[in-house]
Amino acid sequence: MTRYQADQMMNEFKNFSFERPPVLESERLILREQTVEDAHAVFKLRTNEEVMKYVPRPRPANIEEVYALIDEIHEGFLKEKNLGWAITLKEAPDVLIGFIGFPKFDFDNFRAEVGYMVAPGFWGKGIAGEALAVMNDFGFGELGLHSIYATIDPENIASAKVLIKQGYVKEAHFKEDFFYEGKFLDTVIYSLLKSK
């Protein structure tokens, strides 16, 4: 590959070339932009102890913090720093049942992190895996990614199973590399390469 070709690839990758996150669909799901109308569902999701058990991030204290989070995600998209979608069912596209997105991009290496969460009432139904499959297709096909990775708690067996089922492989286990609420926590990286 010439330097010119590499520069062209980089320019195409860095330019999302859409005004807002596009609506994505699978057999059962619609992934759409998260809006302020989702705030109460997001608050319920992000304050649920089961959902947040393996997510080392502060819980929102009130609905205003959720509005700020939704604004932050939108601003990050406008600055081409992240992309995020509300996970909804086709029969109820206005009801957020989860969230999935690319919270971090590594443009220089054509790589992005994927993260997701689903409401407990929808666990064990293949929702997270179906949404992740959509992300994989979009990330490799539309964004030009070469690899996608997820960072999870090593005790989050359910999330590891979702990733492995979608073809992700365990890439690393970092010992006590993350400091949160007075404790050093381990993290595990799973990744997926674009198929040739």
- pLDDT tens by residue, 74-125: 898 888 889 999 999 999 999 999 999 999 999 889 999 999 999 999 999 9
pLDDT at 194 over 70: yes
Angle ∠(78,80,85) on CA atoms, nearest 5: 75
What mean pLDDT, rounded, does the chain reach? 92
The first and second tokens of residue 3, run together, are 């330097």
| Alpha-carbon distances of 34 from 83, 93, 158, rounded to whole Å | 10, 11, 25
User: Above 80 in pLDDT, residue 6?
Assistant: no
Assigned architecture for domain 3-13+21-147: 3-Layer(aba) Sandwich (3.40)
The reported pLDDT for the residue numbered 124 is 94
Question: Is pLDDT at 70 greater than 90 in this prediction?
Answer: yes
Task: Decide the pairing of beta strands 24-25 and 29-32.
Answer: antiparallel
Confidence of residue 19 (pLDDT cuts 50, 70, 90): confident
- Contact in structure between 190 and 152 (CB atoms under 8 Å): yes
pLDDT of residue 195: 87
Instruction: Return the pLDDT at 2.
Output: 57
Distances (CA, A) of 196 to 8, 9, 15, 192: 20, 16, 23, 12
Instruction: Say how far apart CA 183 and CA 179 lie, in whole Å.
Output: 6
pLDDT of residue 79: 86
Q: How many CB atoms lie within 10 A of CB 78?
A: 11
Tell me the two tokens of residue 15: 């330019």
Q: What is the pLDDT averaged over residues 18-44? A: 94
Task: Identify the weakest region by mean pLDDT among 15-19, 39-43, 48-52, 169-173.
Answer: 15-19
Please give the share of the chain, as a percent, with pLDDT higher than 90: 82
pLDDT category at 8 given cuts 50, 70, 90 is low
Domain parsing of the chain, residue ranges: 3-13+21-147
